[in-house]
Each structure stands twice: as structure tokens, then as C-alpha cells.
Structure 1
Amino acid sequence: MKKKLPVGIDDFKNIREENYYYVDKSLFIKEIIDDGAQVILLPRPRRFGKTLNLSMLKYYFENNEEDYSYLFKNLKIKQTAEEYLAKQGKFPVINLTFKDIKENSWPQAEIKLKRMVAREFKRHKYLLESDVLDQYDKEFFQKILSLKAENAFYEESLKDLSDYLAAYHQEKVIILIDEYDQPIQAAYYNNYYDKMINFMRNFLSAGLKNNLALEKGILTGILRVAKESIFSGLNNPVVSTLLDNEYSKYFGLLENEIKELFNYYALDFQFEDLKNWYNGYYFGENIIYNPWSIINCLRREGEIEPYWANTSSNDIIKDLIINSESEVKKDLEILLKGDTINKKIDENIIFSEIDKKVNIIWSFLLLSGYLTFVEKERREMYLYCDLKIPNKEIRYIFENIITQWFEENLSSQKLNILLKSLSCFCAWAFT
């Protein structure tokens, strides 16, 4: 029986147990172990495998009552040296995801943040039965669970939980944080940015900076948010973006992986069509295919559609383009013709400057997957990239935004003409 396609499945255990097809990215574990950095930030575009990779790390490293080594049977990580295999099931793990925190107001976001923390405390509720926690710690633990702790305690909760786990397991903690920048984007576009930044700065700094209980911290997101805002108290993360070679082959799909997929499902396909629609992303030295679109294309037996484009409203991109200066619109016209533009890229995004500085717009479009780079070079202290639209799917998004804008404005103009005509008629009729 053929393996199922993991459309929307990002839990590693589920994929391995329920006969889903898995593209073996398990050497990602080895690269994480080899990396000398204690805290690693890995920004990548949405739906390029960030959550699944963190899930894999969790099941590999976590010291759990259940032995999860069977999940890695026949994977590449099992063929590595003993030093890597010895780390399997060794560490306590804190696993947090911010991907669903995208509320319209700070009170709503604050509640979700507290619930997220409480769920992870509940996952480690066995600590309450141990002698590691004194009475004060147990009362604090219970307040976190019941959502009754003061806000400052939630900001310190990542550090506190890692201390408890390290003391109980007699081993340092691995902290996994997925989509750390999702609540920050939501906060910016819903006008509670300062409150969210203050929480995230304190929360991450407490847990990831100078934490003696920390073995490694791995964060994923779409953007590298500027140090002046969220990382002002956290100066130790090593950042590997899609511009870097490190980790470049573990997010998205390589060409040989695509061919293996289509051959496995015995689908006839025009490889050039796949390349034109879903290829073209440069991650470091690798050319990458969009995994979401490829999997959905397979599910539809090779039917070409803009699958990734339809997973988001693209409102942010639309606002940036529509409200941009004429210079940006001229550059977009060049891109739509299939040419490249050379732009200064700032890898640290400051949200308050997204719609104020032109180079921030191009940086945002590049790092979030709406553009790709062809060449890059450093001139003195600055990075410059030749940018282009990676494929037909992304071209569809830009063309759709422009078409919608044209139709909306045309409708508005017609309405204004109608109202003016009606006004003139009323003035004439009643004189």
C-alpha cells in the first residue's frame, strides 16, 4: 500500500506512525548537535517545514517515559556516529508554538500567551509529584496552570520551567520555540506592538540568555526581528536565514527529493512545469521547491495550481505594494517582466519601518518567500542582492494583487461618477 501524503500534517510522530510519506531530513538533528551555538534562530517562509523539523527534534531529544527511537528507524540519523545516537532521549524538552497567537487586541493575545505557557507546564505536571519543587514553587506552578499568576510570572515562566526540569532530570534543557514572530506581526498590524514586544523580550531573554539550565534553544519564524526591539536583552542567538548555507537543505524540497516523490507515486509529470511553478527559491547554495505546493500537486495527481498562494490572504503584501512609493511600483514592474533588481537587504526587520523604508520592503518580501535572490555581495557593511520573482506561483500573487487593486479603484471611480451625476441631477431637479 502506498504511503499517504502528509497534507497539513506537521507532527513527526503522526507521520512516522500513520504511514505518511516522509522526506528524510533527519540529518538536521546532526547539524543542530554540531552547531556550537547555544541559541539558534532559523527564519524561513511559511509552510517550508519549520514546524515538522522542530517536532522531529522534540521526539529525538526528549527524555520521555515512552521510547521514541522507533520513529527514526531507517532514517539517516541512525547511520551517524555513536556520539549523535547517545543524545537520543537524553534531555528534558520545552516545546512552545506561537503560530496561533494572532489576535486583534492585546487582552485576547495575553490570554492566549498564558494558555500556551500553561499547556506546556501541564505537559510536565509530573514535577508537582516530585521533591524538586518546594511549597512556593508548587504554588507558583499551580497558579500558572490556573491562569491566575501575575503577568511578571508568565514572563519568567520559561526560565522557571527550565530550572525545574533540569533539577528533576539532572540534565540541561532543550527549548524549542516555533513561529516566535507570529504574535509580533499580529501585534504590529493590530496596534498593540509595544505590549507584545515587551512581553516577548522579557520572556525570551529570561529563558535563553544566561540560563544555566539551558542545553540548546532553537527558534523558528519567518523574519529575523530586529535586535533593537525583541532581542535587545538577548545577544547570544546565532541566526541562519535563507541567505546562509547552514541548514539550507533542511527546509523545502531539493530536486532529487522531488523526483523520488513523483516516481514513488508513479505520476507522469512535466518536470519543467513543476520547476516553473514551484521551484526557484535560493536557500544558501541550494535551489528549493515549495513543499506545500508540491505535496498538494501530488494529491491532485499532478494538477498545477497556486497552492501556496491560497494558504494566506496576502493582505500584508497587498498593503505594502498598494501604499508604496512610485519607485517600488516601477521596480515591481521590472520584476513582473522577468528581470532582476539590485537592492540593499536588511536581515533585521523593524516592523515600525516596514512601510517607511524602501529597503525594508524588499527585505520583507525576500525573507518571507515572495522574492528570491540570484546573486548577493557585501559592500562594506551592507548586503546587496539581485532579486527576482522565483516562479509562476508567486507571479500569480503579484498579478492578483494588482488586478484586485485596479478593480477596486475602478469600481470606486465609477461610484464617484455616479454620485456626482446624481448630485447634479438633484440640484437641477429641485431648482
Structure 2
Amino acid sequence: MKKLPIGIQSFKSIREDNYYYVDKTPFVKKLVDNGKYFFLSRPRRFGKSLFVDTLKQAFLGNKQLFEGLYLENNWDWSKKYPVIHIDFGGGVIKDSQDLKEWIIRQLKRHTLTYNILVEDTDNVRFMFTDIIFNLYNTYENPVVVLVDEYDKPILDKIEEQQKVIEIREVLKDFYSVLKTAEPYLKFVFLTGVSRFSKVSIFSGLNQLNDITIDLRFSTICGYTQSELETVFADRLEGIDLEKLKYWYNGYNWLGDKVYNPFDILLFFDKKEFRPYWFETGTPTFLVKLFYKNRYYLPNLENLEADEGIISNLDVDNVKVENILFQSGYLTIKDTYTLGDEMYYLLSYPNFEVRTSFNKAFLNYIDRVGLSYRPESQIYRSIQENNLDKLKDTLYSFFVSIPNDWYRKNDLDSYEGFYASVVYALFTGSGLNTKAEDTTNIGKIDLTVFYQDKAYIIEFKVVEKEAESKALNQIKEKKYYEKYTGSCKEIYLVGIEFSKEKRNIVYFEYEKLK
């Protein structure tokens, strides 16, 4: 079996010692034919580093690694280029000084690899410039620069504003070299999770082509349905393809939907449906932002976003929507235009992210004396069609939240908090839910589906005592009519929360006859 670079060795079967190839090398050729400076944003563990390594091996001229792949016969192997490969993915940067030392250490490794001499300095910009110039002169070929996880030093300290500002200045100084060294460069490719504005990080580097949302490169990372079914055909025997798609497919950057490779490869190894990708990094900072900004969680089902939300993350004004999309918790569901402007409809990519994110939202809430997982109780209540048990579970959950927690998070009078929690409980349980469910005369707060049943749920937040308006609103607006033809049983559920008592003061339900 030939040895492949990590960017091409997509999957090795542990048990049979077989290799599976998802050939992404056509994108290498397409990039080089279409420009010189590129930037790509994709969520963590999505194959960015693998693709960077593929680029590296191609420019180094290692033809033997590409046997049987598209690039073998579609690349000029007579030319080899010196490659500077900087990777910020390893470790956690503590501060700006630590970042400088990390960059200089990586740059010095290149002087050893290519046997070149540069002046020993602690100035990142000077050393980077000297290495590019010396490589160009020594090898008589322009230099390729590959930077992986360019934004990780900032994201590592995103909650510490002053450190973020200092780290940003170091990175800005470092990346400024790419503009001044333009005559000595063959190709530049940067990857990251976030799309920081060119002004804040890449000052003056106007030629940088952002291909994050570009139909031509939408499947540069991840597996399409066709690739999955073709390349991994023997691994899919006995697998429920619809369930696999429901769990892991759905990421979209204006092209074909793709699977996260990390999920798929671990699923093939374990043969269990689990949130593999989500478990590698809990979005604690994101959840904190939700509570701080009093964000209405059900909005994530159908979030309208403009180009500003999709394109740039401003470190001076971090927005929840920016990070959610760029880190992979939301993806593009649809697009539409108003005048000359493009707008995007965002939502969860799949079942894994949807349920896991809502569980993370719930886990952030302090709870006292709750000995069971409320999500499992919610699921059992619906499974058994026991709405009295559902009421008790919801009531017990809110009782378990200590008063100090409300004051700490300033949520005493936040009406959306109660609805957000109930939504998270239902969605985090794995039930099929639909928030802000549109009808011809309004929106249902939450619809829950189980087998041939639909539960139409309306929330109200009152000052003190029950007002009995929630259930009446469902009846008056006839929300149930949307599902009378598709569901055999429909239940109407009205829930009211008291700001003063911080719990349910009204819970009524009835079956539609």
C-alpha cells in the first residue's frame, strides 16, 4: 500500500487495513488556475488541515503521493517550490508574547529545513520577510505560504478583550508581510474557523480571495452524498442511509450539502450514532453570550442574516450569530435577494448539532436537587403521551434553578428565557420539534411531533398569577388546522410562566376532537 500525505489518506479502516480515498485534488488545480491569494473558513475538524497538507505536497513536487488521483496527470511536476507552512492549531496561545515566540520558533524550523541563513531577531515581521526573500533567491523559484488555523490565537482568548487586541496586532504585523512580499510569492492559502474582516487582521491585503461562500469551492472540505456512497460503499452495508444523513449531513456553503468527515470516520469505526464532532468542543463561550445577550433560542431554527453576519467577525463587537455560523453550529438553509443585497436563512445543519447545542444550553444552568436528566423525562412523557408527567418534569426543572443563578445572569424579567428553556428541553431530548411554526394567521410557539401525534404548544409569561390565555390563543387562531390532515392525534398545550414565581403557574391541555 503506497504511503499518502495525510490530506489524501482520507480514511484507513482499522480492522481491515484498507485505505479509502476521497479525491479533493481537483480543487488544488482549480485554486492555482484561478488566483494567487486565498482564504477559506470552515468549522473545526472539517478537513482544513488535510487540504493544506495536500497543497503542500503538490507544491513540493511529491508526485508519487498522488498516484491514481486527479492531480497526477493535471499538474506540472517538473517544478518544485519552497513552502512555508505555519500552523497555529497546536496548543493554546497564552498572550501576545507567547504568540511571537511560537511564530518565530516555526519560522526557524524552515531555516533548518531549507538550510538558509537569516538574522536572528525577535521581530516576527523581519524574520518572515527575510525567510521569503532568501528562499526565493536560494531556490530561484517563488515561495508558497500556507497558514493553517490563522485565527486560533484570537479564538483561544476571545473572552479576554485586552489580550485579543494585543494578539490581533501581532497577527496583523505578521500577515502584512504577505502584501510587501508579493513579487516573491507563488501562492498563498490561509484557513481558519472565523472570517475576521480584512481591515482588522489583513490590513491592506486586498487581493485575498475569500472562497468560504463560493459555489466553485463549496465542497472543498467535507463529504458529499455522492462521495460517501461511492467511496465508502462497502462500509455502508446494513447502515440506514436516511438516519446517517439525518444525523450528520446538512452543512451548506451554497453548493451540495456535505457531511463532517470527523463524524463519518468515527461512525464507521464505532458503528454507533453519537455526537462525535460536538463532543470535541463544548461551546461554553457561545452559551455565555446567549445568556448575556438574552438571546431567544428558538430563533436559531430560522435565522435571517445579511452579508455582514455571514462575512466578518469583529473582535471589538462579537455577535452570537457570527460565531454560530462560522463555527458550524448554524449553516445556510436558503438564500434570497432584496434589491441588490443577498440574505441568508440559517439553521442547524443536522440532528447532532441541534440536539447537542440545546443540551449545552441547558447544562449551563445551575440546578440543585435534580437527580435525573430532564431531557430523558421529557422524551418519555411524550412517548407515553403522559402530559401530566410532562407538566411535573417542567415544573421540577424550574424549581431546581436556585434564585442566585437568576440574579447572576440577570434573567428575572427576561420573557424569552422561559420559552428558550422549554424549547431546549424538547429539542435537546431528541424529539422532532418546530419552533416559530408559521401558519396563515400567526406562529405556533412550538410544535412537537411524535409518530402520528402533534403537540401544539403556546407559551405566555405573566407578572404573577395565571391568566389562562395560552390555550385560548391556540383555539382562537386555530393553529391546529395546519396538521389536521397529516396527524391522527393533535394535542393543544397552553403553558404560562410567572415572572414573580419563576415557574409554571398554568399548564392546561386538551385533545382535539
TM-score range, shorter chain: 0.7 to 0.9
Q: Distance in 1 between matches of 2:206 and 2:136?
A: 23
In structure 2, C-alpha distance between the alignment counterparts of 1:408 and 1:109, rounded to whole Å = 39
TM-score normalized by structure 1? 0.78
Tell me, yes or no, if structure 1 residue 351 matches structure 2 residue 321: no
1:87-125 per-residue CA deviation (whole Å, 9 max, x = no partner) reads: 56521111111112522333333332322222233322x
The 1:320/1:127 distance shift into structure 2, 3 A limit, reads same
SS at 1:103's partner residue? coil
Deviation, structure 1 residue 181: 0.7
Deviations 1:117-176 (A, max 9, x none): 22233322x224xxxxxxxx4xx1xx2xxxxx23x2x22322221111111111111111
Whether contact under 8 Å (1:282, 1:372) holds in the other structure is yes
Query: What's 2:68 paired with?
Result: 74
Partner of 1:333: 298
- 1:202 and 1:284 map into 2 onto residues whose CA distance is 33
Distance across 2 between alignment mates of 1:114 and 1:41: 22
Specify the alignment match of 1:162 in structure 2: 132
Map residues 8-407 of structure 1 onto 2, 5 A cutoff: 10=6, 12=8, 20-36=19-35, 38-62=36-60, 68-80=62-74, 85-87=75-77, 89-124=79-114, 126-128=115-117, 137=118, 140=119, 143=120, 149-150=121-122, 152=123, 154-190=124-160, 191-241=162-212, 243-265=213-235, 267-301=237-271, 303-325=272-294, 328-329=295-296, 332-335=297-300, 339-346=301-308, 347-354=311-318, 360-379=319-338, 382-407=341-366
Q: CA 1:13–1:386 in structure 2 vs 1: closer, same or farther (change >3 Å)? A: closer
**Number of paired residues?**
369
Based on CA coordinates, which of the two structures has the bigger radius of gyration? Answer: 2
**Displacement, 1:57?**
0.8
Q: Secondary structure at the match of 1:281?
A: coil
Is the contact made by 1:60 and 1:88 (CA closer than 8 Å) also made in structure 2?
Answer: no
Cα displacement (A) at 1:266? 5.5
Instruction: Tell me the SS of whatever aligns to 2:183.
Output: coil
Residues 383 and 319 of structure 1, relative CA distance in 2, 3 Å threshold: farther
CA distance in 1, matches of 2:328, 2:367: 26
Measure how far apart 1:381 and its partner are: 6.6
CA shift digits 1:246-286 (9 cap, x unpaired):
31122100001111344233531001111111011112221
State the SS of the aligned residue for 1:28.
helix
3-state SS in 1 of match to 2:144: strand
Q: CA deviation at 1:395?
A: 0.9
Q: C-alpha separation between the residues in 2 aligned to 1:194 and 1:23?
A: 40
2: distance between equivalents of 1:404 and 1:41? 35
Q: Distance in 1 between matches of 2:82 and 2:9?
A: 17
Alignment check: 8 A CA contact 2:86 2:148 kept:
yes
Change (3 A) 1:230 1:55: same
In structure 2, stretches of 5+ residues that fail to align are 369-397, 407-513
Return the alpha-carbon distance in structure 1 between the equivalents of residues 86 and 179 of structure 2.
13
Instruction: Compare relative contact order (CA 8 Å, sep 6+) and give the higher one, 1 or 2.
Output: 1
SS in 2 for 1:265: helix
SS at match of 2:312: coil
The alpha-carbon deviation at position 333 of structure 1 amounts to 1.4
Distance 2:190 2:405 in 1: 50
Equivalent AA in structure 1 for residue 81 of structure 2: F
Q: 1:203 to 1:106 in 2, by over 3 A?
A: closer
Deviation at 1:33, TM superposition (A): 1.5
Residues 1:174 and 1:404: Cα distance change in structure 2 (over 3 Å):
same
Indicate the SS of the match to 1:188.
Answer: coil
SS state at 2:201 partner: coil
Name the SS for the 1:233 alignment partner.
coil
5+ residue gaps, structure 1: 129-136, 144-148, 355-359, 418-431
Q: Deviations over 1:66-96 (max 9, x none)?
A: xx2111000012243xxxx215652111111
Give the conservation status (yes or no) of the 8 Å contact 2:104–2:127: no
Amino acid paired to 1:245:
L
Provide the identity percentage.
Answer: 28
Tell me, in whole angstroms, the C-alpha distance in 2 between the residues paired with 1:288 and 1:98: 25
Superposition CA RMSD, Å:
2.8
Superposed CA deviations along residues 354-374 of structure 1, whole A, max 9, x for unmatched, are 1xxxxx322321122111112
**Deviation of the 1:349 alpha carbon:** 0.9
Q: Distance in 2 between matches of 1:212 and 1:40?
A: 16
Asked whether the equivalents of residues 10 and 22 of structure 2 are also in contact (C-alpha less than 8 Å), the reply is no
Q: Distance in 1 between matches of 2:32 and 2:224?
A: 23
CA distance in 2, matches of 1:259, 1:386: 28
Whole-angstrom CA distance in 2 between matches of 1:416 and 1:376: 39
Amino acid aligned to 1:178: D
Given that 2:331 and 2:348 are in contact with CA atoms closer than 8 Å, whether structure 1 keeps it comes out as yes
Q: SS where residue 65 of structure 2 aligns?
A: helix
TM-score by length of 2: 0.66
Go from structure 1 to structure 2 and tell me whether the alpha carbon gap of 1:286 and 1:60 turns closer, same or farther (over 3 Å shift).
same
Aligned residues of 1:60 and 1:89 also touching (Cα < 8 A) = no
Q: How big is each residue's C-alpha offset from its partner over 1:218-247, in whole Å with a ceiling of 9 and x where there is no partner?
A: 111111111221122322201111x32131
Matched letter for residue 121 of structure 1: T
C-alpha distance in 2, partners of 1:166/1:201? 23
Taking the aligned partners of 2:405 and 2:139, their CA distance within structure 1 comes to: 70
Q: Is the 8 A contact 1:162 1:173 kept in 2?
A: yes
Q: Which moved more, 1:208-217 or 1:248-257?
A: 208-217
Separation in 2, partners of 1:200, 1:265: 43
User: 1:11–1:279: structure 2 CA closer, same or farther, 3 Å change rule?
Assistant: closer
